[in-house]
């Protein structure tokens, strides 16, 4: 019995040796001007990514088709593993304020804003895509990075997008 207990303890110790502890982000911070996105934990950045934005990146998204990335406070509310891009995490734009602002201007606020990787089938173009703003308002990262972000950012995580 002692021998069995010894081997079980040894097996448990060996299997957990070197296992990386997953640190989930409690916030995502985007700085559009710097083209940077940070995963935050307890107010400190622990991951940093270069990002590409919409074709018209300056200013807050105001309506469908303006190709701007929204600015403000949002939430990652769902994920799409079957995306046209390598994985995608949905940002809950438009929020209440965005909808009210669009209604006052009698325009559609737009939507379908995601954090995602490269378009499916275009991984060879990734080095070029990472140097330009090419989305319709989404936040794009490299495929390797979206796979990491997918694991570290849970649904319900707040995201702040700064100018």
- Torsion, CA 83, CA 85, CA 86, CA 89, rounded to 10: -60
pLDDT(2) > 70: no
Question: Among the residues of 17-131, which ranges form H helices?
Answer: 96-104, 126-129
Separation CA 91–CA 135 (nearest Å): 14
Question: Per-residue pLDDT tens for 25-60?
Answer: 999 999 999 999 999 999 999 999 999 999 898 988
Query: Could you tell me if residue 9 is inside a domain?
Result: no
pLDDT of residue 5: 46
Query: Could you tell me if residue 116 is inside a domain?
Result: yes
Return the exposure string of 6-40: e unless at least 16 CB atoms fall within 10 Å of the residue's CB, then b: eeeeeeeeeeeeeeeeeeebebbbbebeebebbbb
The CATH number of the domain holding residue 52 is 2.40.440.10
Query: Could you tell me if residue 19 is inside a domain?
Result: no
Query: What's this model's pTM, rounded to 2 decimal places?
Result: 0.84
Query: Could you tell me if residue 3 is inside a domain?
Result: no
Query: Could you tell me if residue 15 is inside a domain?
Result: no
Looking up tokens 């957990």, which residue turns up?
Answer: 16
Q: How many domains, in total, are found in the chain?
A: 1
Query: Could you tell me if residue 133 is inside a domain?
Result: yes
């Amino acid at each position: 019995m002692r021998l069995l207990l010894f081997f079980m303890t040894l097996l448990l110790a060996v299997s957990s040796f070197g296992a990386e502890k997953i640190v989930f982000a409690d916030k995502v911070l985007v700085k559009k001007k710097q083209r940077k996105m940070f995963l935050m934990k307890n107010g400190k950045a622990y991951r940093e990514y270069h990002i590409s934005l919409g074709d018209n990146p300056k200013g807050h998204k105001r309506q469908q088709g303006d190709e701007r990335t929204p600015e403000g406070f949002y939430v990652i509310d769902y994920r799409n593993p079957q995306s046209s891009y390598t994985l995608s995490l949905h940002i809950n734009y438009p929020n209440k304020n965005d909808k009210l602002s669009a209604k006052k201007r009698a325009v559609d606020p737009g939507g379908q804003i995601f954090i995602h990787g490269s378009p499916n089938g275009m991984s060879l173009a990734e080095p070029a895509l990472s140097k330009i703003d090419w989305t319709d308002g989404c936040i794009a990262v490299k495929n390797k990075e979206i796979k990491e972000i997918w694991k570290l950012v849970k649904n319900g995580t707040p995201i702040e997008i700064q100018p």
